[in-house]
Chains A and B, each alone.
Chain A
Amino acid sequence: MEAKKIFDILSGKFGGSIQQLQESTFPPSVVVGSDAIVEVCDFLKKAEGLDFLSLVCLSGVDLKEQGRMTVVYHLGSMKHGHMIAIKVELDRSSPHVRTVEKVWPVANWYEREAYDMFGIVFDGHSDLRRILMPEDWEGHPMRKDYVYPKRYHTWDV
């Protein structure tokens, strides 16, 4: 299905929460307000004709220059073969967004990774721990303003 059409369906359903359609990206992305993300995702997964059954990828993006952080959800439908990206823009100083773990269980790990790397807090997540970095690591390494530590425990890094 065309991205424009998906955008229209979403706008009709969620109104103001659906903020913008970016057609220049590949796949086209829809910017969604952070409060409505779970409902939008749930709708996208279950709605007839959309069937975004799989969360292909979930990425955190640190847009330091713009003072924002973005969570990008790449959704795919194996039934219809279409893809779309959903973007949620968050405040960089305290990034909070609700978890979509209930919609796609795989989001559990993806969100843990985004938390680990960017410090994005996923509210309602069942097990929000670091996943790749050691549990006592300080800072979130993928942030653009991350300062490399000189030492970790007894090692020079």
Chain B
Amino acid sequence: MAVADEKFMQVSMGPQHPSTHGVLRLLVRTDGEVLSSVKPYIGYLHRGLEKIAERVTYPQFTPFTDRLDYLASMNCNLAYAMTVERLLGIEIPRRAQVIRVIMAELNRISSHLIAFGSLSSDMGAFTPFLFGIREREAINDLFEMVCGARLTFNYIRIGGVSQDLPEGFTDRTKEFLDYFPAKIREYNDLLSYNSIFIKRLADIAVIRPEDAFDYGITGPNLRASGIRWDLRRAEPYLVYNELDFDVPVGRGEMGTTGDAWDRYMMRIYEMEQSAKIVGQCLGMLAPGDHTAKVPRVLKPPVGEAYVRAENPRGELGFYLISDGSTKPYRLKIRTPSFANLSIVPKLGKGVMIADLIAIIGSLDIILPEIDR
């Protein structure tokens, strides 16, 4: 640990701090309000999921993926299931694919609602946070209806989904989709286009495309820099290639392309698109099996695969090496927030303390995913 010299004050922000989104510790050197360096210290939430994966069977690991990005458990389940399915070579029934897309997109909305809310509360406006929670609650109800859990779903399984959609799910989802756009307009009035909010975020912490590539930024943060890269379009999985949706990219509406406001706004735009996708998928639901025939004991053949999927926070990849037994030989989890956070020391130079909060909030990191 560097010894603070006289000119600077060294402040340890976290691991217990109101706005580090978990147990992140930032060692900050400041000159008054201006930061001269930021050093993230992570690992406070390290549970050794990769090690656990080596001692549980393939299906047993699914609940653990819930605990990667707990705000987007469905997406994590999905990416893991896709990885194992690729090694096993299983084809998924169409109905299961459509259900998976519905779940993934609903979860994307609920995750972005938290991103929206937590950024707003970081910026000092607490009301939008509760509004975001309110709409998320409706989605949680839908999830509870489908799989019985509200946070750690363990719903998307190897081979399909654990249960078929319940009675009344479609109507309830449609009801939600009907009123959701009005809520987004409300968010925009309340927060997105609020001039104080824009002032706080526009032109702050601009990530240029080169930096985004260098630091492995993915997801909405990458698209905010103006790069149209979305795995749902670039490497379509499930039924995404049949769906009509846009991939919003940052245009620097309020400042520079790739600034914090663009990153924030990507999430609002993506919620709109996800709602659109869910609407289309509800129409595509045809009777069929909700899961493929999967043997009771899974023994993928020897091999390795790196499979990735678009998570709300970026690219979630599982690098799985199978030695032909019932347990993974090695499972490396490439999480989006880990790479997204690694740019913070670069962005955090020369900004103010309040901006650092905006940077962390706009990158929308989530700690269990970083520490695994």
Contact = CB atoms under 8 A, between A and B. Distances in A.
B18 interface: no
B338 A109 contact: yes
A105 B303 contact: no
B306 A74 contact: yes
Interface range for B: 20 to 34
Interface string A120-157: 00000000001111100000011000000000000000
Contact of B214 (A29, A60, A106): A106
Summarize B's interface: helix, strand, loop or mixed: mixed
Interface in B74-98: 86
Contacts of A25: 303-305
Given A61-B321, A141-B48, A85 B306 contact: yes
A105 B48 CA distance: 25
Interface stretch (B21-29, B161-169, B227-235, B279-287): B227-235
A24 interface: yes
Interface string B204-241: 00000000011110000000000101000011000000
Contacts of A106: 214-216, 339, 342
B319 A72 contact: yes
A72 B331 CA distance: 12
A108 B307 CA distance: 23
Contacts of B213: 53-54, 78, 104
B306 A27 contact: yes
B214 A133 contact: no
A115 B229 CA distance: 31
B371 A56 contact: no
A57 interface: yes
Contacts of A62: 330
A56 B216 CA distance: 6
B310 interface: no
Contacts of A133: 43, 46
Contacts of A109: 338-339, 342
A132 B25 CA distance: 12
B291 to A, nearest CB: 23
B324 to A, nearest CB: 12
A130 B372 CA distance: 15
A131 B227 contact: no
A26 B307 contact: yes
B199 interface: no
A56 B315 contact: yes
B227 A78 contact: yes
Contact of A59 (B46, B319, B371): B319
B310 to A, nearest CB: 13
B334 interface: yes
Interface in B252-297: none
Interface in A41-87: 53-57, 59-62, 72, 74, 78, 81, 83, 85
Contacts of A55: 216
Contacts of A24: 303
Contacts of B43: 130-134
A105 B214 contact: yes
A57 B334 contact: yes
Nearest to A22: B304
Nearest to A74: B306
A81 B51 contact: no
A60 B139 CA distance: 38
B308 interface: yes
A119 B321 CA distance: 20
Nearest to A87: B304
Given A27-B306, A132-B46, A133-B43, A57 B214 contact: no
Contacts of B51: 141-142
Contacts of A141: 48, 51
16 contacts: A26-B303, A26-B307, A27-B306, A53-B214, A55-B216, A56-B306, A61-B332, A72-B319, A74-B334, A104-B215, A106-B215, A109-B339, A109-B342, A132-B371, A132-B372, A133-B43
Given A78-B229, A104-B216, A131-B42, 13 more contacts: A26-B303, A55-B216, A56-B216, A56-B306, A56-B315, A57-B317, A60-B332, A72-B332, A74-B317, A105-B342, A109-B338, A141-B51, A142-B50
